[in-house]
Structure 1
Amino acid sequence: MKRKLWALLMAVVTVGSFTACGSSTSAPATVAKTEAAAPEAAKPENVKTQTWRMAFNQTEAHPQYRVMQEFSDSFKERTGGKYEIKLFPNETLGNQRETLEQVQAGTIEMSIVNNTHPGSVSDYFKTFDIPFVFNDIDHAIKFMLESPVMEEVKKDTEQYGFNIATYLPAGVRSMYTVKAPIKSAADMKSLKIRTMESDTYVKMMTYLGGNATPMAMGELYTAIQSGVVDGAENNEITYVNSKHYEVAPYWSETKHLIVPDWLIINHDTFESLTDEEKAIFNEEAAIAVEKVAKLWDEDVEKLMATLADKKVTITTGVDTESFRQAVLPLHEELTNANEKIKKVYDAVQAVK
């Protein structure tokens, strides 16, 4: 991502935007832990530490996991040991759909989920599952952090039992396959491609001429290995860290989707915090966005370089325009059918 890191913190709307005051403020370029913003909390005597569980579907090497570990450590320190966030990677608490439901029910307190899962309860989020809705990653980040409509989008989840703590960058998605590279949309014909569990993704594959096979991430390696699917689509970090290159050695830079991840928290859990604790939580969430963005870029470069001595074919120069043209009817179909999708879609197009 070629962008200045300060832009990541401009107009970040975190869960604190949706407290009684209903207002949001822009964070400074470097978030300082000042006493005025959120003073350090001295640990009371005999304080009982509350342990929150955070679910994550990727490995400990993932940049989001590493940043969330720092988030946990800092939040615990700054609340005087009152709260500890324990991370559970590798789908140990369930897949993303399951952990969203657990956060809603209060069975666990937090999770990181892909956009498609908030989209299962709030139509606003479905806009971000549309392929090529963003021009590039800079366009996506600018919209997520600066568009006024995002306050309304995030507010909508509270009625379903969870808050959006913050947006987390999740890279750009491309195709990877077992038998041959993808050079244009024509190469998608009849391929069985794993997608996330999203109606929009299923329709996307249909428009591209392929066949979508929705399934959880934990099932994918075996599904590719056994021939249940011919490939999948995801970002570079997942491709390498999950070792999918071992069973699908053709990586093709289709760059068809820029989909956000979201850090979510049970609504009642967040509301149980004091105003001071909410301020600390929100500040740490804003810092996490900057950290993830920086680590993401570094990890993509390092991890893709590790494939140089592997039997992996990386195809650049894909005819992405053929992909975009193939899915443009899906843009029209979805925006004509749903006012909430259209509202966010139009707001995205208005951002330059």
Structure 2
Amino acid sequence: MIKKTVIQKVSGAILVAATAAAVSTSANAEWKGWNIHNPGYPVTTALESFIDDVEAKTDGRVAGRVYNGAVLGNQADSIQMLQIGAIQFAEFNLGPIGAIVPEANVVSLPFIFKSVDHMHRVMDGPVGDELSAAMEKHGIKSLAWYDSGARSFYNTEKPIEAPSDLDGMKFRVMNNELYVGMVEALGGNATPMAYAEIYQSLKTGVVDGAENNWPSYESSNHFEVAGYYSLTEHLILPECVCVSVGAWNQLSADDQVIVKKAARESAELQRKLWAERDKSSREKVLASGVVFNEISNKAPFQNAMKVVYEKAFQDNPTLKPLVEKIQSVD
């Protein structure tokens, strides 16, 4: 709770700076972009396509470079850098965004989406627009929604079939109290930790497991040290192509149209590449000998989340109507 409060204070304090930041003139904008993934990853390919498309279609009025592998800092730091205009665009998972934009926490509620396709329909519609508007108040302009698949649990010890299998186990989660509550509601011990620290922590026993999608599990080589993957699909988290509000406001109206269209087209590319990578990553790790199991009955996991939802609604009443809107989408 302390971390969340500090971040909110910081984001409030720097919002003015974000809108006033002198990034550059729209006639000569050189944008710096943050990305956590490595070259060749679906997100990376799509984000690089986005900025290349922008440069070509604005005749160089807006140009830029994607800095991959989180070389500009971790996600928490990069979110704040985007707010103040120290970087001009980025691709973020909405999980950590929830620490700054309370409404964004709705997508972090476990089992909120029925499927990946359902998530796409929700985020491409009015709910996505509502979340975009909430983010913009905090200096972050979301232009399009990327896919990050469905996240499931993996660990070093055993298959997970029921919530009781998590009893006493230590699981790495992203830095969001909803994920901490999720693991604790299932009987596990949640450990927020930077993505880069997971492999060594699994290898040395600092944590027993983590949770992520197939491509991340494969590309991080976590499958080498955590050989049990259980298909809970408890989180289906959208990601955003975001620009700094300060940078956005310095664009001409015509260039804003070009930039937004390029972001939407890059999202179409990313989703296609993601589906292909999801399939190939799954095949690769299963061929390596990973022990895989599908959860035959997810109801006990979903029922355990009632306390997570209740606490979320208590802490942030704005989430309840958003949940209702999401659940109303077929």
TM-score by length of 2: 0.88
What is the DSSP-based 3-state SS (H/G/I as helix, E as strand, rest coil) of the residue aligned with 2:318? helix
- Looking at structure 2, the residues matched to 308 and 136 of structure 1 have their Cα atoms a distance apart, in angstroms, of 22
1:189 matched residue in structure 2: 167
1:207 matched residue in structure 2: 185
1:79 matched residue in structure 2: 58
- Looking at structure 1, the residues matched to 223 and 79 of structure 2 have their Cα atoms a distance apart, in angstroms, of 28
Cα drift, residue 318 of structure 1: 4.3
Cα drift, residue 313 of structure 1: 1.2
Alpha carbons 1:130, 1:200 under 8 Å: kept: yes
1:31 matched residue in structure 2: none
Q: 1:85 to 1:199 in 2, by over 3 A?
A: same
- Looking at structure 1, the residues matched to 247 and 110 of structure 2 have their Cα atoms a distance apart, in angstroms, of 34
What percent of counterpart residues are identical? 29
- Looking at structure 1, the residues matched to 116 and 287 of structure 2 have their Cα atoms a distance apart, in angstroms, of 29
1:306 matched residue in structure 2: 284
Q: What aligned pairs does 1:1-352 form with structure 2 within 5 A after superposition?
A: 50-146=29-125, 148-352=126-330
1:272 aligned partner, one-letter code = Q
Query: Which moved further from structure 2: 235-244 or 315-324?
Result: 315-324
Cα drift, residue 315 of structure 1: 1.4
Query: Which moved further from structure 2: 52-61 or 148-157?
Result: 148-157
- Looking at structure 1, the residues matched to 83 and 129 of structure 2 have their Cα atoms a distance apart, in angstroms, of 20
Query: Which moved further from structure 2: 131-140 or 317-326?
Result: 317-326
Cα drift, residue 336 of structure 1: 3.9
Alpha carbons 1:63, 1:296 under 8 Å: kept: yes
Alpha carbons 2:127, 2:326 under 8 Å: kept: no
Cα drift, residue 303 of structure 1: 1.6
TM-score by length of 1: 0.83
Q: Runs of 5+ in structure 1 lacking a partner?
A: 1-46
Alpha carbons 2:96, 2:174 under 8 Å: kept: no
- Looking at structure 2, the residues matched to 348 and 48 of structure 1 have their Cα atoms a distance apart, in angstroms, of 40
2:141 aligned partner, one-letter code = N
Residue-by-residue CA offset, 1:288-316 (whole Å, 9 max, x unaligned): 22111111111111121122441311212
Residue-by-residue CA offset, 1:68-125 (whole Å, 9 max, x unaligned): 1111211111111222221111111111111001101111111111112221122111
Cα drift, residue 150 of structure 1: 3.2
Moved runs in structure 1, 4+ residues, more than 6 A?
Answer: none
- Looking at structure 2, the residues matched to 177 and 273 of structure 1 have their Cα atoms a distance apart, in angstroms, of 47
1:104 aligned partner, one-letter code = Q
Alpha carbons 1:158, 1:267 under 8 Å: kept: yes
Residue-by-residue CA offset, 1:106-159 (whole Å, 9 max, x unaligned): 11111111112221122111111110111112221111112x243232112223
Cα drift, residue 332 of structure 1: 2.5
Alignment coverage as a number of residue pairs: 305
Q: What is the RMSD of the two structures over their aligned residues, measured on CA atoms?
A: 1.6
Residue-by-residue CA offset, 1:2-33 (whole Å, 9 max, x unaligned): xxxxxxxxxxxxxxxxxxxxxxxxxxxxxxxx
Alpha carbons 1:55, 1:110 under 8 Å: kept: yes
Q: 1:338 to 1:48 in 2, by over 3 A?
A: closer
- Looking at structure 2, the residues matched to 170 and 149 of structure 1 have their Cα atoms a distance apart, in angstroms, of 18
1:218 aligned partner, one-letter code = A
